[in-house]
Amino acid sequence: MVASKTEDMVMADLPIAPTRFRYSVQLIDERMIPLVVMDTDNPNEARKAYDEVCGHQYRRHFRFIGGPEVIDERPPLAPFGQI
């Protein structure tokens, strides 16, 4: 049995959405497409926003991006409908 491409995809292989500023918080939707939640040049402001959205929306997959790198990533804690 051959696994599908999405099953083989590692989190690091997901694309990073382009932004106007250096730091951004991005939501990865069901189609594995990144959506920018917020972007800024201030790392403290971005970290605060990342922590806040992760705390309120624990069923979503979020990434904290700094330039071309993923600084922090939080996959969904529980699939939708299982809590």
Interatomic CA distance for residues 11 and 83, integer angstroms: 24
**Considering the domain boundaries, does residue 2 fall inside one?**
no
- Are 32 and 11 in contact by the 8 Å Cβ rule? The answer is no
Is-above-0.85 flag for pTM? no
Interatomic CA distance for residues 59 and 56, integer angstroms: 9
**Considering the domain boundaries, does residue 55 fall inside one?**
yes
Q: For 38, phi and psi rounded to 5 degrees?
A: -160, 155
Domain count, the chain: 1
Nearest to 64 by CA among 8, 9, 11: 11
In sequence order, the β-bridge partners of residue 27 are 35, 62
- Are 21 and 36 in contact by the 8 Å Cβ rule? The answer is no
pLDDT tens for 42-78 read: 999 999 999 999 999 988 999 999 988 999 999 988 6
Which residues span the domain enclosing 64? Answer: 13-74
